[in-house]
Amino acid sequence: MSPDPRPRKQIHLAAHFPGVNNTTVWADPPTGRPTTTPAGGTSPGSSLGSQIDFASFVHLARTAERGLFDFFFLAEGLRLREHKGRIHDLDVLGRPESLTVLNALAAVTERLGLAGTVSATFNEPYELARRFASLDHLSGGRAAWNIVTTSDAFTGENFRRGGYLDHADRYTRAAEFLATARALWDSGPAGGPPRRVDHSGRHFVVRGEFGVARSPQGHPVVIQAGDSAEGREFAASAADVIFTRHSGPEAGRAFYADVKRRLPAYGRRPEDLKIMPGVTFVLGDTLAEAQERAVEIRRQQVSPQTALLTLEQVWGVDLSSYDPDGPLPDIDPDPHGELAQGRVRIADPQAVADRWRALSRAKGLSIRETVIETTGRQSFVGTPDSVAREMDHFVQSDAADGFILVPHLTPDGLDPFVERVVPLLQERGVHRTEYTGTTLRSHLGLPDPARPARKD
Amino acid sequence: MPEPHHPPRLAVALDAPGVPPRHDAAHYTALARLAEHGTLDFVTLGDRFGGPGPDALAVLARIAPDTERIGLVPTVTTTHTEPFHVSTAVATLDWVSRGRAGWTVEVSTTEAEAALVGRPQVLGFARTGKDPHPAASPAEVWSEAGEVADVVGRLWDSWEDDAEIRDRATGRFVDRAKLHHVDFTGRAFSVRGPSIVPRPPQGRPVTVVDVTGETDGPDGGPSPGTGDLPHVGVPPRGGSRERGRSRELGEGARREVAAARADVALVRAEDPQTAGAARADLLARARAHGRAPGGPLVLASLPVELESSGDAAGLAALLGDWFAQGVADGFHLRLADPVRDLARFVEGTVPLLRERGLLRRSYEGTTLREHLGLPRPASIYALAREAAR
């Protein structure tokens, strides 16, 4: 075997607390079929824990820290989703406010990074800069902020500000918000008196002194999760990590190359921005067992009711009279149908419907089977050894710098990965065997932010 | 009269005017554990929109897992913050502390704080000429704070306690009949709801209002002049001119919010007559708001400086004396030097209070409401649904 001219890239790993989509399995398994017990997991009943009790967050965070992960990740919810004018009731619902949970988790972990999504639309730069600087202090340098913007009026109904934000303005606001927050972080007193910030821009006017001392990381780590051209450009200019949906190897490599080539224009090196797709996994003692389990999990994720609801999101009309175990509707989608609120819109419903009907006819699939077949297939399915090998190849072939793992069970869905896959990644020399630094920046290999010299 | 059977409620502030804020969690953990060792009801941590120091709610969330029973009550400002965020943050503090959260409602009235807010146009801060952020009047911002406290409570109630059903047969995770839009419209904001956070362990975390408030310095910073706090028991010196002004402008509005919305009101007092008069006034206002026979628990908030163990014993006598006079339901201690004074208090005052039957020897309950003797309220939406049946 010829020596690889390049050193092997280290895989960066993060743990996503299971979310409020149908990917999180919540129902007790039917009696006599303890199929949801993950390989290497604990007792069957413990797999379907609370989405809100603090103990669930402690369990996942400590599991991630045991696996020497870079960070723990929390998504944000600002409005319960609605469907056909009523609150959507089929998926896990209800979650805490991210930053408060992360501060509490800082007490029960020592090295793990603590990342939270917080919208730049319904906050002000000063208050978020202060809240993230506070988390960075209270965690000893482990804070990360996934900066997103929200432009829908539906979510805006919960806020003073309302939902008005021109789509084209989303990234100009995010960029100005982040630049203002960084100016505030840079002004925090480190021994000396605070420096005055005097920012006057298109979206914000911020004048005064930042009351929080410079935090251990200087700047908390910034994550960006948008996928549009503007989102990629914003990430290249200002983010430390991209949380992407491109979990397939080919799309991943294209995305990776596209984003990394944008960095030099901003005076940044390729390693200054880590690309981490959100991925799912299913383990088995054999490949066949893993595949069987993956199918069973998909059936749990797509209940008959969820199958119809998924179809209604594409068709835009009420389909409650259809049999989820029967064929797909003959009628075409209503391009103007707006049944779902608080979800990402489907760009071309007719094309999706045509594709699904063709698949259904070709394979003889029911509505539910079609939805199972076409949505949310797991990213890595196999034995611990094959999953470790595939993940390593994925990273070494520049499809990613690491992964944000999304377990399908709360709170112990990550346990089998940490117990069975992490040791194999360590054997391959691509995952740390101990934390060498104390801050999230050090885990990610990111440089310390330069602090502008005092002008006064 | 305070209920005779409940001993005085006791709380202590972890921050002190003039003491630079600490940024390390260990400092706050040590203090809160000490207060817990003294079986106090809760600790408070003050805050302002602009700081200085770390966010108070963040600090108390950070120390929640390091403590077991002590109530955690950060100041949360409402003037420049989204009411929805205030609601979810305090609800989450209640979740991570397993039912020990409260919050002290506070406002931001200064120009300096307004200038930190990036919104070009917010309540009372119209953009005019050279001065983009003139300060709003305390009465105006307190009136809005009352609306915020109102909607925050409604959002906590917007998930009924048993909304989560996990019904496999119908595939439903929640019973949507038990989730409620709050549809709140105030004068300057509206909130649709429901909350994103399920109803917290206490149903409603404890709402505290400081009806006297901290004196604002002329530039919005904390008032100068520490180190000359009155010793406990020493008659008060006359308030500064700034303090007099601040009371004139804000205190009536604070008392209205406390009377209508607070579970606990803090009255800064340096003599029992002041505390008793404020308590009577608050309870009368609460009755006018239809809260009879309820109304807030009124704690006398006392500046305390324990320079010797003799002071610690003297404090026990003073607290017992005030409580016997029926002027307060308990006490909130503002320590001049929290590290030194809390140690002296727990060592010297706590044993004497216990001997006199004025302080528990161990916690009986686990939630802050249980410590305070406050019932866990039912969701207003659950009550309405019951009534409609």
Q: Are residues A440 and A339 in the same domain?
A: no
pLDDT of residue A31: 39
CA B277 vs. chain centroid, Å, equals 21
The C-alpha of B66 sits at a distance from chain A's nearest C-alpha, in angstroms, of 7
The single residue listed with the structure tokens 């935090």 is: A215
In a domain, A438, yes or no: yes
pLDDT of residue B181: 95
Chain A environment of B177 (Cβ under 8 Å): none
B166:A89 CB<8 A: no
Q: A21, A299 in Cβ contact below 8 A?
A: no
pLDDT tens string A52-97: 999 999 999 999 999 999 999 999 989 888 887 888 888 888 999 9
Residue A160 scores a pLDDT above 90 = no
Q: pLDDT confidence of A273, banded at 50, 70, 90?
A: very high
In a domain, A221, yes or no: yes
Residue B308 scores a pLDDT above 90 = no
Task: Report the residue of chain A nearest B151, measured CA to CA.
Answer: A158
Q: Are residues A389 and A411 in the same domain?
A: yes
CATH code: domain of residue A252: 3.20.20.30
pLDDT tens string B134-145: 567 888 889 999
pLDDT tens string A205-229: 999 999 899 999 999 999 999 788 8
In a domain, A225, yes or no: yes
Task: Report the residue of chain B nearest A54, measured CA to CA.
Answer: B96
Q: Are residues A329 and A219 in the same domain?
A: no
How far apart (Å, rounded) are the C-alpha atoms in residues B306 and B38? 16
Task: Report the residue of chain B nearest A127, measured CA to CA.
Answer: B49
Chain B environment of A78 (Cβ under 8 Å): 84, 196
Q: Are residues A186 and A322 in the same domain?
A: no
pLDDT of residue B119: 54
Return the higher-pLDDT residue of B160 and A342. Answer: B160
The C-alpha of B312 sits at a distance from chain A's nearest C-alpha, in angstroms, of 32
Q: Are residues A249 and A178 in the same domain?
A: yes
Last residue of a domain, one of A330, A359, A374: A374
In a domain, A19, yes or no: yes
Last residue of a domain, one of A314, A346, A374: A374
B194:A80 CB<8 A: yes
Residue B68 scores a pLDDT above 80 = yes
Return the higher-pLDDT residue of A53 and A163. Answer: A53
Touching check for B26 and chain A: CB below 8 Å? no
CB burial of A129-155 (b: ≥16 within 10 Å; e: otherwise) equals bbbbbbbbbbbbbbbbbbbbbbbbebb
How far apart (Å, rounded) are the C-alpha atoms in residues A449 and A403? 24
How far apart (Å, rounded) are the C-alpha atoms in residues A75 and A406? 11
Return the higher-pLDDT residue of B233 and A70. Answer: A70
DSSP SS3 for B131? strand
Q: Are residues A369 and A387 in the same domain?
A: no
pLDDT of residue B14: 98
Chain B environment of A103 (Cβ under 8 Å): 58-59, 61-62
Chain B environment of A101 (Cβ under 8 Å): 61, 92, 95-96
A206:B115 CB<8 A: yes
CATH of B9-388, one of 1.20.140.10, 3.40.50.1220, 3.20.20.30, 3.30.420.480: 3.20.20.30
The average pLDDT across B355-363 equals 97
User: Which of B62, B116, B118 lies closest to A138 in CB terms?
Assistant: B62
Chain A environment of B176 (Cβ under 8 Å): 86-87, 89
Touching check for B172 and chain A: CB below 8 Å? yes
Task: Please give the sequence-ordered ranges of beta strands (E in DSSP) within chain B, or none if there are none.
Answer: 9-13, 42-45, 71-77, 102-106, 164-167, 172-174, 184-185, 190-191, 206-210, 264-268, 297-304, 330-335
pLDDT of residue B100: 98
Chain B environment of A124 (Cβ under 8 Å): 80, 116-119
A205:B120 CB<8 A: yes
Per cent of chain A over pLDDT 90 is: 59
Whole-number CA gyration radius for chain B: 21
Q: A144, A15 in Cβ contact below 8 A?
A: no
Torsion of CA A262, A265, A269, A273, to 10 degrees: -40
B191:A211 CB<8 A: no
Q: Are residues A369 and A384 in the same domain?
A: no
A205:B132 CB<8 A: yes
Residue B371 scores a pLDDT above 70 = yes
If you count residue pairs, one on A and one on B, with CB atoms under 8 Å apart, how many are there?
Answer: 194
The single residue listed with the structure tokens 């346990």 is: A415
In a domain, A131, yes or no: yes
The average pLDDT across B131-135 equals 45
How far apart (Å, rounded) are the C-alpha atoms in residues B170 and B159? 20
Q: What is the ipTM of this complex?
A: 0.91
pLDDT of residue B249: 58
A160:B65 CB<8 A: no
Q: Domain segments of chain B: what residues?
A: 9-388
Task: Report the residue of chain A nearest B89, measured CA to CA.
Answer: A97
In a domain, A353, yes or no: yes
A104:B62 CB<8 A: yes
Q: Are residues A85 and A160 in the same domain?
A: yes
In a domain, A100, yes or no: yes
Per cent of chain B over pLDDT 90 is: 69
Return the higher-pLDDT residue of A26 and B133. Answer: A26
Touching check for B223 and chain A: CB below 8 Å? no
Q: Which of A419-423, B39-43, B178-182, B251-255 has the lowest mean pLDDT?
A: B251-255
SS3 string, chain A, reads CCCCCCCCCCCEEEEECCCCCCCCCCCCCCCCCCCCCCCCCCCHHHHCCCCCCHHHHHHHHHHHHHCCCCEEEECCCCCCCEECCEECCCCCCCCCCHHHHHHHHHHHCCCCEEEEEEECCCCCHHHHHHHHHHHHHHCCCCEEEEEECCCCHHHHCCCCCCCCCCHHHHHHHHHHHHHHHHHHHHHCCCCCCCCEEEEECCCCEEEEECCCCCCCCCCCEEEECCCCHHHHHHHHHHCCEEEECCCCHHHHHHHHHHHHHCCHHHCCCHHHCEEEEEECEEECCCHHHHHHHHHHHHHHHCCHHHHHHHHHHHHCCCCCCCCCCCCCCCCCCCCCCCCEECCCCCCCHHHHHHHHHHHHHHHCCCHHHHHHHHCCCCCEEECHHHHHHHHHHHHHCCCCCEEEECCCCCCCCCHHHHHHHHHHHHHCCCCCCCCCCCCHHHHHCCCCCCCCCCCC
Q: Are residues A351 and A273 in the same domain?
A: no
B171:A304 CB<8 A: yes
pLDDT tens string B89-102: 999 999 999 999 99
Residue B158 scores a pLDDT above 90 = yes
- Residue to mutate among B49, B63, B68, B174, with most A CBs inside 10 A, is B174
- Tokens matching residue A175: 């960029």
Last residue of a domain, one of A354, A374, A394: A374
B174:A87 CB<8 A: yes
Q: A104, B61 in Cβ contact below 8 A?
A: yes
pLDDT tens string A370-408: 998 888 788 999 999 999 999 999 999 999 999 999 998
B23:A212 CB<8 A: yes
Per cent of chain A over pLDDT 70 is: 90
pLDDT of residue A303: 87
Return the higher-pLDDT residue of B135 and B200. Answer: B200
Touching check for B54 and chain A: CB below 8 Å? yes
A211:B51 CB<8 A: yes
Q: Are residues A120 and A151 in the same domain?
A: yes
The average pLDDT across A294-313 equals 88
The C-alpha of A396 sits at a distance from chain B's nearest C-alpha, in angstroms, of 38
Domain residues for the domain of A187 are 12-285+380-444
User: Which of A91, A101, A212 lies closest to B51 in CB terms?
Assistant: A212
The average pLDDT across B219-237 equals 37
Q: Are residues A219 and A363 in the same domain?
A: no
Per cent of chain B over pLDDT 70 is: 85
Q: Are residues A54 and A183 in the same domain?
A: yes
Q: How many domains does chain A have?
A: 2
- Residue to mutate among B48, B76, B92, with most A CBs inside 10 A, is B92
In a domain, A7, yes or no: no
Return the higher-pLDDT residue of B203 and A298. Answer: B203
Q: A409, A18 in Cβ contact below 8 A?
A: yes
